């Protein structure tokens, strides 16, 4: 079975802090994705990567950056966390373009 | 018009009921259709996917696609309390790696 793991289930940070969210997949997938999920807004794509060191902006990239130095690892970076970035963050990976496998999510609270 | 519309519910049914979950979409270029299930405090998991009009069955679950009406459905027969979750439709045009998600329908099956 595909396993996508995320570094933390719950995270509390202060406004202005730099925040790193890590995601690791164990199935040698080419594609990796970062989403945020908010009540009433659903899943929104922040960034995705289709290869090592390659990245593309999703629908809401402002305030975020990403890094993919190794195929199995995709990091989401909040350069200066703000309260409106309080959310559930979900990482996903896929080999085929349609079947995305999700991690358990990180619930981030920014105070 | 939003790309994918999904009634958020909530939907509450008695155990054993037949459940119908629906999404509509606006872009006729969409070709691939998926349903994800998300339990509380977990990441979404792929339930079913299809790329053609018609029905696809998997146990108690049936996915139906009507491309002419731009309408997709998920039917759950003999619903169980363990089916209580949020169900998200997801659609792709196949030309890139992005999925467009509906906002999800919260289903509760009461014993």
Q: How far is CA A49 from CA A3, A56, B4, B49, in A?
A: 18, 6, 23, 22
Q: Shortest CA distance to A58 belongs to which of B100, B71, B26?
A: B100
Residue with tokens 């049914």: B13
pLDDT for B94 equals 60
Cβ contact A70:A87 at 8 Å:
no
Residues A90/A37, Cβ–Cβ less than 8 Å: yes
pLDDT higher than threshold 70 for residue B97: no
Residue with tokens 């690892």: A73
Q: Which stretch of DSSP H or E encloses residue B55? A: strand B54-58
Q: Are B50 and B33 in contact (CB under 8 A)?
A: yes
b/e map of A53-64 (b: 16 or more CB within 10 Å)?
Answer: eebeebeeeeeb
| B71 band by pLDDT with thresholds 50, 70 and 90 | very high
Task: Please name the residue of chain A whose CA is at the shortest distance from the CA of residue B50.
Answer: A98
Please report the residues numbered 43 through 102 in chain B whose beta carbons come closer than 8 angstroms to any beta carbon of chain A. 43-46, 49, 88, 90, 92, 94, 96-99, 101-102
Determine contact, residues B7/A66, Cβ cutoff 8 Å. no
Per-residue pLDDT of chain A (111 residues; tens, 9 = 90+): 669 999 999 999 999 999 999 999 998 999 999 999 998 888 999 999 998 989 999 999 999 999 999 999 999 999 999 999 999 999 999 987 678 899 999 999 999
Give the pLDDT confidence score for residue B1 in this predicted structure.
60
Q: What is the pLDDT of residue A53?
A: 87
pLDDT digits (tens, 9 = 90+) for B25-64: 998 888 889 999 999 989 999 999 888 788 899 999 999 9
**∠A104-A46-A15 over CA atoms, to 5°?**
85
Predicted confidence (pLDDT) at residue B2 exceeds the cutoff of 80: no
The rounded mean pLDDT for chain B is: 91
**Alpha carbon A1 to chain centroid distance?**
20
Q: Which of A45, A48, A104 sits opposite B42 (nearest CB)?
A: A104
- pLDDT for A108 equals 97
């Amino acid at each position: 079975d595909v396993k996508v793991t995320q570094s933390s289930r719950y995270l509390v940070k202060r406004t202005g802090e730099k925040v790193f969210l890590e995601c690791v997949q164990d199935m040698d997938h080419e594609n990796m994705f970062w989403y945020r999920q908010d009540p009433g807004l659903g899943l929104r794509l922040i960034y995705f990567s289709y290869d090592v060191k390659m990245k593309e902006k999703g629908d809401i990239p402002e305030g975020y950056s990403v890094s993919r130095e190794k195929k199995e690892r995709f990091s989401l970076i909040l350069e200066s966390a703000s309260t409106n970035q309080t959310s559930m963050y979900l990482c996903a990976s896929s080999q085929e373009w349609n079947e995305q496998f999700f991690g358990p999510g990180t619930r981030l609270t920014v105070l | 018009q939003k790309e994918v519309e999904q009634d958020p519910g909530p939907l509450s049914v008695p155990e054993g009921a037949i459940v119908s979950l629906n999404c509509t979409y606006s872009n006729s270029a969409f070709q691939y259709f998926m349903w994800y299930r998300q339990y509380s405090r977990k990441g979404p998991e792929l339930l079913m996917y299809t790329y053609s009009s018609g029905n696809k069955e998997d146990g108690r679950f049936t996915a139906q696609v009507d491309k002419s009406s731009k309408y997709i459905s998920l039917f759950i027969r003999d619903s169980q309390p363990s089916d209580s979750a949020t169900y998200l439709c997801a659609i792709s045009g196949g030309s890139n790696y992005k999925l467009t998600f509906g906002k999800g329908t919260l289903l509760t099956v009461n014993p």
